[in-house]
Amino acid sequence: MARVEGIDPRQTSFPMRQVFKKVRKILGRDLTPQKMVARVPRVFWNNILAEWLLGEKAAVPQRQRMLLTLRTAVRVGCPF
């Protein structure tokens, strides 16, 4: 089965590159799911907006949320 290749962040628009840069600064690398979603700009921006809104409404501090997300990813075997 063929796999969909993620888009290179250098081939995206300037605002998308800024989002990739921010994520790279926080996590230290580009996320594969984010590269996949970047192939369709409308989905990319809706995803970014949803993540931001969820982050604003969360009662859990961001540092704790990020640790929880990484721990969950490790448990389910996510390779990012």
Mean pLDDT rounded to a whole number for the chain: 83
Mean pLDDT throughout 49-69? 78
pTM: 0.66
What's phi and psi for 59, nearest 5 deg? Answer: -85, -10
- Residue 51's pLDDT is 81
SS (H, E, C) 9-65: HHHCCHHHHHHHHHHHHHHCCCCHHHHHHCCCHHHHHHHHHHHHHHHHHCCCCHHHH
pLDDT in tens, 11-25: 999 999 999 999 889
- Residue 26's pLDDT is 83
Tell me how far CA of residue 10 lies from CA of 2, 18, 65, in angstroms. Answer: 24, 10, 29
- Residue 78's pLDDT is 72
Cα 50 from Cα 62, distance rounded (Å): 15
Cα 5 from Cα 55, distance rounded (Å): 28
- Residue 33's pLDDT is 83
